[in-house]
Every structure is written in C-alpha cells, then in structure tokens.
Amino acid sequence: MSSEEFERYSRQIPVIGCEGQLRLKKSRVLVVGAGGLGSAVLYYLVAAGVGEVVFIDDGVVELSNLQRQVLYTTEDIGEPKVLVAEKRLRALNPHVKLIPVKATVTEDVLEKYVREVDVVVDALDNWETRFILDKVAWRYWKPLVHAGVGEYYGQLTVVKRGVTPCLRCLFKGVESGGRGRVVVLATTPGLLGLLEVNEVFKILLGVGEPLYNKILVFNGRKPSLDIIEVKVSECRDVCED
C-alpha cells in the first residue's frame, strides 16, 4: 500500500490490521443493483478500500430515486446509474478498480462476472431477479449477501452453498413474479445496505460470524433487530442445475 493509502485507512487499520487492509485490497466484490441498497453498499465498499468492485444496473436516475439513492443528485436525472455512480465513487477513492456494467440482469450477464469475484451482494428490489442471481451464485459456490426492504422493514442473510440453503429454498413462500414500485422509508435501504457491507467484510476478513442460517429482521417502527434461526436442510436438486 502507498503512504496515501495508509493515511486514508488510518482509522480502520488499527481495527483490522495491515493484513486485513491488504485482504480488502486484493478482494473482488460484485454488487447487483445500484439503487437504494446498492448506493449504500457501493459507497462503503469503495470507501473502505475493497480492491475491485463490479456493479450491474440497467436503470437511469429518476426524480423518485433521490429520496434514498444517495449516490445521485437532481442534475443526474436521465443519466445511467452505473456511469454516475462510477464518477462519484472514483472521486471518493481512486485506488479502487471500478467496473460499471449497464445491462439487464440476466443469467448470461451474471455468468460472466459471478465466477470472477469473492463475494456477491444482492442489492435488488424484486424476487424474480434475485432468484436468478441466487442460482448463478450457487452454481459457482460464491457467498451471496442478501437484503430486502420495504416501508419500515428489512431482512438480511448470507447464503453459501455447502453451509446454508439457497435463497429460493430459504424463502419458499415468496412469489418470484412482479416488479412493482417499491415503497420504503428513506433510511431503511441505507441501514440494510450498511449491514450488507458488514457481512461482506466479515467474509473477506475471516472474522466474526456471518449470518449463515440466520435471518436478521429489522423493524424501524419499534425499532428492533431480531435474529431468526434457520433450520439447516438440503436444497432440492434443481438448485444445483
């Protein structure tokens, strides 16, 4: 690391050590979605010095995004999210390699990037696409950090083949169809996005206990954070396709 990097991370290195900071620098993370969750996830992955961050989104900045998607401003309306995000993130930390991908999230697109990274982050807003991401991450044995939000509420878990059920089996009762408008308090995706980053750091650094076989449930009305233990079970054969 350069002297500038040592100074940049000087409040973090005493916590994770030089070895930990170098681990982050050598790591690659894929973030799928650059909206409410993704804005928070991307900002803190880059700020903390993760070496390579790939992010996929096909959207453009809309006025209704600005209440919660903190990477964007009014001047960015109509611009591709990934290109605006790249500009802001590069200004934040020029030491991080950024790979913006403006594309619809499909199995073929994910195949190209999932196999090359250490951790995958689900920052999506619909289950149909989440289950596609889940399938590809499962295929390549990549840990998948999942969060979902709505109104005052959110949930968080980490899925890893050989350790937990896949996301589809974990959330069996959820219908995959539908991409309706998400309604959410501004702070909820920010909070859950930061918790996703915390899980990524635990995985990359090999510290603490990632949320394997556990679902963290956030209720912003109380507020409360509860942990639900998940019964470990075998996934169906279809998950291994």
7-18 pLDDT per residue, tens: 999 999 999 999
Please tell me the predicted confidence (pLDDT) of residue 234: 63
Average pLDDT over residues 211-227: 96
Does residue 185 contact residue 219 with C-beta atoms inside 8 Å?
no
CB proximity list for 32: less than 8 A, separation 6 or greater: 38, 55, 56, 57, 105, 110, 120, 121, 122, 123, 124, 129, 133
Please tell me the predicted confidence (pLDDT) of residue 241: 56
The range of the structural domain enclosing residue 211 comes to: 3-240
Q: How confident is the model at residue 135 (pLDDT cuts 50, 70, 90)?
A: very high
Name the DSSP letter for residue 119: E
Helices (H), 117-186: 127-139, 167-170
Does residue 230 contact residue 213 with C-beta atoms inside 8 Å?
yes
pTM of the model: 0.95
Q: How confident is the model at residue 61 (pLDDT cuts 50, 70, 90)?
A: very high
Does 238 have pLDDT greater than 60?
no
- Residues 177-217: tens digit of each pLDDT: 555 677 999 999 999 999 999 999 999 999 999 999 999 99
As a whole number, the mean pLDDT across the chain is 94
Please tell me the predicted confidence (pLDDT) of residue 231: 81
Range list of β-strands (E), the chain: 28-32, 52-56, 97-101, 119-122, 144-150, 153-159, 214-219, 224-229
Please tell me the predicted confidence (pLDDT) of residue 232: 73
Average pLDDT over residues 40-66: 98
Please tell me the predicted confidence (pLDDT) of residue 178: 53
Task: Name the pairing type of β-strands 214-219 and 224-229.
Answer: antiparallel
Does 237 have pLDDT greater than 80?
no
Range list of β-strands (E), 130-223: 144-150, 153-159, 214-219
Question: How many structural domains are present in the chain?
Answer: 1
We report the CATH number of the domain holding residue 8 as 3.40.50.720
Does 50 have pLDDT greater than 80?
yes
Among 131, 146, 213, smallest CA distance to 176 is for 131
Does 168 have pLDDT greater than 80?
yes
Q: How confident is the model at residue 108 (pLDDT cuts 50, 70, 90)?
A: very high
Distances (CA, A) of 104 to 73, 117, 132: 23, 19, 12
